[in-house]
Amino acid sequence: MTSVGTGYDLSNSVFSPDGRNFQVEYASKAVENGSTTVGLKCKDGVVFGVEKIIANKLLVPGKNRKIQTIDRHIGCCYSGLIPDGKHLVNRGREEATNFRNTYGKPIPVSAMSERLSQYVQAYTLYNSVRPFGISTIFGGVLKTENGGDNKPELFMLDPNGSCWGYKGIATGKGRQTAKAELEKLITSETFDFSTLSAKQAVEEVARIIYLAHEDNKDKDFELELSWCSLSETNGFHKYVPEEVYNEAVENAKSAVGLADSDESGEEDMEVDAQ
Amino acid sequence: MSPQHGSQPIQHQFNPYSDNGGTLLGIAGEDFAILASDTRQSVDYSINTRLSHKIKVISPPVTKEMKLESTDIVGTKNSVLFGTNGFSADGDALTKAFEENWKWYVHDQNSNVETGFEFLNENNEEKESFMSMQSAARNVQHLLYGKRFFPYYVHTILAGLDEEGKGCVYSFDPVGSYEREQCRVGGAGASLIMPFLDNQVNFKNQYIPGTNSTERRKIEYLSLDECLKLVKDAFTSVTERHITVGDGLEIFIIDKNGVRSEYHALKKD
Amino acid sequence: MNHDPYSWGRPSDAMYGQYNNAIANAPNTLEHHSSGSNFNENTTRPIVTGTSVIAIKYKTGVVIAADNLASYGSLLRFQGIERLHKVGKTTVVGISGDVSDMQHLLTILDQLEMENNYDNDEYSDNVDELQPSYIFEYLANLMYHRRSKMNPLWNALIVSGVDSKTGKPFLEYVNLLGVKYASPSIATGFGSHLAIPLLRKLADSEEEAAELTLEQAKKGIKDSMKVLFYRDTRSSKNYSLAVIDKDTGIAYDNNVDVEDMSWKFAKDITGYGTQRV
């Protein structure tokens, strides 16, 4: 942070002499401390997982959901400033409505990525605004009968407005561990996307979130899992059902050596959520 | 100009109104008031439904204590009985608009909130909590006249108790001209029932026997039973003679105990 | 810079004479680019239309039907147009009248359904899913609002379904004027003349409808659709039939045909056409 105090970090729309926009970089700091968020593609869909740190014992288990739906076929989660994320999701919903009204079919995920990244990028241009303090992972699958191609798509959008497509991606506090795990998974010789089922992907995401939580062990957390898959949810973005959820959590716990421990929050959550 | 002249195309215009028939009747007694209507809704020669509600009881919450005294209570003595007859879509919209105003009036009056300054009320006067009939009537005038150039096509009648606890009926024309009356009939059966009520409630054309039609019969309040008899007779009769009236009769009675309702079947033909 | 081309200015009068606003109805003010015509261009009549929708309540639900035809005047223009639409989990909306207005309503209903789903997924217990009564209230307000702008949606709608919380059957009507009503049996258009007498024979009150079985209700609707096909020239043999039941949900068949017809009476009808008595 050599440039702190130089004045170039006070505003958007002003570059520092070495060509950096510090406000945007600071926004990324907000993300780095956010809760771990993972997205993973599978053969016919995408899966999302969020590590939800329990900031307060008074919070109701299973409520205060973090994963959201942008359109019927697009799921979204983010780490960083939660209200910023809510706002971006609202914008996404407007874009989805707009696209539907204009073209008579649901918006392709790639088109959504273009529109959201343009929106986020615009918040890096003016000194009257601040950038979004979130990294957003979103994706889904649009069925051919709705004008899509049955191919799952997954993106991550950063505070500077750049948006890339991924096979699997993570952001937030535990991103290093999570990304390393994803890389390990995807580059292994036995791995093949064309055979990875949504259920398997859910297991992997759950495991990775639990693993990434190891560095942050002193805090309790709830796991949130959602998916959007042709075979499992008919192309709709939905929370994973109780049985799948419980199984994934059990396996994740045993994978990180937590099996049947005293972390009962997750079961409570699902019981409550029904 | 005839269409052949061709300079002006003929305009097919959308008619935003329809006549949904039915009759509405209000009578004020000394310490009670009645508002009654048939429950048929029709258009042209078709009966849309045999059970529609043209009268809304707009009431503060009915307490358990009131229910204890009489189980069939549907409103308090502070209620406004709100009836509309004519174009039902406008009737429903007007009712909704008034209900909204009535609720905001209650909220703005802060009526049900204990202030902690009740001790200042030395004479222990009952605080005016709810919209009086006088205020309700004036408010309805504003609603109706507000659409003077695209009127609510309805005949409106309100019934309730005035600030002295006496029965009152207010009646309105479609653009908000209104009057407090002893009784009024609106809608399809108005021309059939109104003269009957003039005679039976206001004793029009009744003279004291033996005075050779020089001394009018003195006006006096009718009892509730007498009024209910009149209402039922009026509706059974108008059902016979008017095609848009029938199916069912809904009567609301308001007095110091609150509002209760009665239903009687009418001929469905 | 002001990017509105109208603010860019025009050649000065001194050089070219006054600008002729009569050309192509060019607007002469910057505020309102008025259409040049004083006629309102709102709907004054329906163009492509769907005929009757009919429905009746029974013990545990509602049966509703409408044919699959869209007419252009007396021309049978489009076949296979569905006029019964599922909204939410327990509601079917039947729409008669102008088909383009119907399609407009469908985009609105689709949006309504989606916005409801944002915060109501099936795994959370604070679900407040769309009930037939919500959808009806929304549509009734919309129809009255549009008629009050003198720009009506030229339709009559029947909203049918069951309340998923109470299990109570729901059936209500609203039309282009915003006139609404509830009844044990409801029909739009010709159906109100031809089907309602048959349906009221089955159930003339809520009490009677609460005794009606699904089979009785279905037969009543099927018979009514037959009568409508006999007598309504703008109807088709092929129709859709939906049953909304509190226990079994929505059963929807979009390919039903009128059955057991007898046209024997036709030969006895005299007095018009090319027939010589």
C43-72 pLDDT per residue, tens: 678 999 999 999 999 999 999 999 999 999
Q: Assess if residue A4 is contained within a domain.
A: no
| Residue C43 annotated in active site | yes
Q: Assess if residue A143 is contained within a domain.
A: yes
pLDDT digits (tens, 9 = 90+) for C160-200: 999 999 999 999 999 999 999 999 999 999 999 999 999 99
pLDDT digits (tens, 9 = 90+) for B119-169: 666 665 555 568 999 999 999 999 999 999 999 999 999 999 999 999 999
**Count of the separate structural domains present in chain A:** 1
Q: Name the band, by pLDDT with cuts 50, 70 and 90, for residue C41.
A: low
CA B187 from centre of chain: 11
Q: Assess if residue A16 is contained within a domain.
A: no
Q: Which segment of A167-171, B67-71, C58-62 scores lowest on mean pLDDT?
A: B67-71
Q: Assess if residue A12 is contained within a domain.
A: no
Q: For chain C, which domains are there?
A: 5-34 (no CATH), 48-257 (3.60.20.10)
Query: In the Cβ-directed half-sphere of B166, how many Cα atoms lie within 13 Å?
Result: 11
Q: Name the band, by pLDDT with cuts 50, 70 and 90, for residue B5.
A: very low
State residue C40's pLDDT score.
Answer: 55
CA distance C65 to C228: 11
- Count of C-beta atoms within a 10 Å radius of residue A205: 31
Please name which of A131, A105, A104 lies closest in space to residue A117, comparing C-alpha atoms: A131
* Start-end of H helices in chain C: 13-16, 99-118, 132-148, 191-194, 196-202, 206-209, 214-231
Choose the closest CB to B89 out of C45, C179, C196: C179
Choose the closest CB to B12 out of C45, C150, C196: C45
Span B193-200, average pLDDT? 97
Which token pair is B55?
């009268």
Yes or no, beta carbons of C124 and A69 under 8 Å apart: no
Yes or no, beta carbons of C147 and B49 under 8 Å apart: no
Span A235-253, average pLDDT? 95
Would you report the helix, strand and coil content of chain C in percent, each value rounded to 5? Answer: 30, 25, 40
- What percent of chain B stands above pLDDT 70? 88
Residue in B closest to C205 by C-alpha: B50
Whether A223 has a pLDDT exceeding 50, the answer reads yes
pLDDT digits (tens, 9 = 90+) for A10-43: 888 789 888 999 999 999 999 999 999 999 999 9
pLDDT digits (tens, 9 = 90+) for B15-48: 999 999 999 999 999 999 999 999 999 999 999 9
Q: Which of B10, B49, B87 to mutate to test the interface with C (most CBs of C within 10 A)?
A: B49
Residue in C closest to B19 by C-alpha: C179
Please name which of B147, B146, B164, B187 lies closest in space to residue B36, comparing C-alpha atoms: B187
State residue C17's pLDDT score.
Answer: 74
Handedness of CA A15, A16, A22, A25 (dihedral sign): positive
Q: Assess if residue A39 is contained within a domain.
A: yes
pLDDT digits (tens, 9 = 90+) for A133-151: 999 999 999 999 999 999 9
Yes or no, beta carbons of B93 and C204 under 8 Å apart: no
Contacts of C143 (CB under 8 A, 6+ apart): C152, C153, C155, C157, C174, C175, C176, C177, C178
Residues linked to residue C63 through DSSP beta bridges, in sequence order: C56, C243
State residue B3's pLDDT score.
Answer: 45
Are the C-beta atoms of residues C191 and C200 closer than 8 Å to each other?
Answer: no
Please name which of A244, C26, C176 lies closest in space to residue B43, comparing C-alpha atoms: C176
pLDDT digits (tens, 9 = 90+) for A74-88: 999 999 999 999 999
Sequence letter at residue A182: L
Whether C125 has a pLDDT exceeding 80, the answer reads no
Q: Assess if residue A145 is contained within a domain.
A: yes
Which token pair is C83?
């006029």
Pairing of strands B55-58, A163-165: unpaired
State residue C30's pLDDT score.
Answer: 52
**Active-site residue, from C43, C90, C213, C270:** C43
Q: Which residue in this structure is represented by tokens 């002469």?
A: C28
- Alpha-carbon separation of residue B188 from B22, B193, C32 (angstroms): 6, 10, 46
CA distance B253 to B59: 13
State residue C5's pLDDT score.
Answer: 60
CA distance B40 to B54: 9
Contacts of C1 (CB under 8 A, 6+ apart): none
Residue B8 contacts C where some CB pair is shorter than 8 Å: no
Choose the closest CB to C152 out of B14, B46, B87: B14
Whether C34 has a pLDDT exceeding 60, the answer reads no
Pairing of strands C185-187, A163-165: unpaired
CA distance B99 to B91: 12
- What ipTM goes with this model? 0.90
Q: Assess if residue A93 is contained within a domain.
A: yes
Choose the closest CB to A101 out of C107, C114, C121: C107
Touch criterion met for B and C (3+ Cβ pairs within 8 Å)? yes
- Longest pairwise C-alpha distance within chain C: 86
Output the DSSP codes for C46-99.
-SEEE--EEEEEETTEEEEEEESEEEETTEEEEES---EEEETTTEEEEEEEEH
Output the DSSP codes for C136-148.
HHHHHHHHHHHHH
| pTM listed for this prediction | 0.86
Whether B102 has a pLDDT exceeding 60, the answer reads yes
Are the C-beta atoms of residues A16 and A9 closer than 8 Å to each other?
Answer: yes
Q: Assess if residue A5 is contained within a domain.
A: no
Sequence letter at residue C10: R
State residue B4's pLDDT score.
Answer: 46
- Count of C-beta atoms within a 10 Å radius of residue C245: 20
Please name which of B5, B25, B29, B13 lies closest in space to residue B224, comparing C-alpha atoms: B29
Q: Give me the helix-helix angle, C132-148 and C99-118, nearest 10°.
A: 130
C-alpha distance from A103 to closest chain C C-alpha (Å): 12
CA distance C210 to C185: 12
Output the DSSP codes for chain A.
-TTTTSSTTS-TT---TTS--HHHHHHHHHHHTSPPEEEEEETTEEEEEEEEE---TTSPTT-S---EEEETTEEEEEEE-HHHHHHHHHHHHHHHHHHHHHHSSPPPHHHHHHHHHHHHHHTTT-TTS----EEEEEEEE--GGGTS-S-EEEEEE-TTS-EEE-SEEEESTTHHHHHHHHHHHHHSTT--GGG--HHHHHHHHHHHHHHHHGGGTTS-EEEEEEEEEHHHHTT-EEEPPHHHHHHHHHHHHHHTT-TT-S--HHHHHHHHH-
Could you give the dihedral angle defined by the CA atoms of residues B183, B184, B185 and B187, in that order, rounded to the nearest 10 degrees? Answer: -160
Residue A60: give the domain boundaries: 22-273
Judging contacts by C-beta atoms under 8 Å, the chain B residues touching residue C183 are 48-51
Q: Name the band, by pLDDT with cuts 50, 70 and 90, for residue C103.
A: very high
CATH number (domain holding residue A252): 3.60.20.10
Handedness of CA C102, C108, C111, C117 (dihedral sign): negative
Q: Name the band, by pLDDT with cuts 50, 70 and 90, for residue A266.
A: very low
Residue B100 contacts C where some CB pair is shorter than 8 Å: no
